[in-house]
Structure 1
C-alpha cells in the first residue's frame, strides 16, 4: 500500500512544485541541481555539505531544508531505489538527502534520509556531502 499516493499531491508553478495536501508542505519536485522539464527532472543532483545546503536554501528566499519529520513524510515505503513516489518526485537519485535537523547531543551531526531504502540516520555535518530537496511552508 502506498504511503504517499499521487492523489495527495497537487502540482503548482507549472508542475515544478507540488503541495502535499496531507501536510500542507510545498516541495520542489527536483533535487537541487536538477531542473523541471515539464514531465521530469533534467541534469545532475548537486552534492552539498550541510552548511552549504542551509545557506543555499536561505539564498532562495522562502525555501528551506526540511526537518527530519518532513523529509520522512515523502518516503514511499512500498518502493526501493528510490523509496519515493516517482510520479510525484521523478528522477530522484537513490542517495542520501540532508534534513535541517541536528542530532540532539551531537553538535557535529545532522539527520538525513537514504532514499535507496527510505531509512534515516545521522551524518557528520562537516565536509560530508549529500543531496538536497527543498520545501516551503509548514513549521
Structure 2
C-alpha cells in the first residue's frame, strides 16, 4: 500500500504533514521535537492528558485549529505511519475519554499494539492534528 503525504514547513506553525487518505494534517513529531533531515530530533516531552489537550490548543493560529487526536484518528495514524514515525516505547494520548468513566482517557502503546483507557494523570507523548 502506498501513502501519499504532502509535507508542510511553515515558521508560523508546527512542522506538519498532510495525510491525503484521511484529509488530516499531523504534527511531524511529538511535542517539543523538531523535524530535521527527515527525523524527529531533540527530546520529546511527556505530559498528563489535560496538559496534552492544552498543548495542542495552544498551537492554534488564524490558519489552523490544532487539537489532540481522538482515538480513531490516532489509530489510523498508527496503522498508516506507526512503524515509521512513532516512538514505539512510549504511550500516546488521544482526546477520547472512557464513556462510563470520565476519569479515564484512551492512549496508544505502539510497541504492544495496544489501545487502552487509563488514568489521565499518566505521562504520555502528544501528536496534534487538524482538518484545516
Name the SS of the counterpart of 2:67 in structure 1: coil
- For residues 98-109 of structure 1, the aligned pairs below 5 Å read 98-109=93-104
Q: Deviations over 1:61-112 (max 9, x none)?
A: 12110000000001138xxxxx7141xx2xx311110000011010100011
Structure with higher helix content:
2
- For residues 5-84 of structure 1, the aligned pairs below 5 Å read 5=2, 7-13=3-9, 16-61=15-60, 62-76=65-79, 84=82
TM-score by length of 1: 0.80
Aligned to 2:112: 117
- Counterparts of 1:21 and 1:117, CA distance in 2: 27
Superposition RMSD in Å: 2.1
| Count of matched residue pairs | 124
Structure 2 gap ranges (5+):
none
129-138 vs 107-116, which moves further: 129-138
- Counterparts of 1:129 and 1:98, CA distance in 2: 9
TM-score by length of 2: 0.84
- Counterparts of 1:8 and 1:122, CA distance in 2: 31
Query: For the Cα contact (< 8 Å) 1:76–1:118, is it kept in 2?
Result: no
Query: For the Cα contact (< 8 Å) 1:114–1:120, is it kept in 2?
Result: yes
- Counterparts of 1:136 and 1:65, CA distance in 2: 9
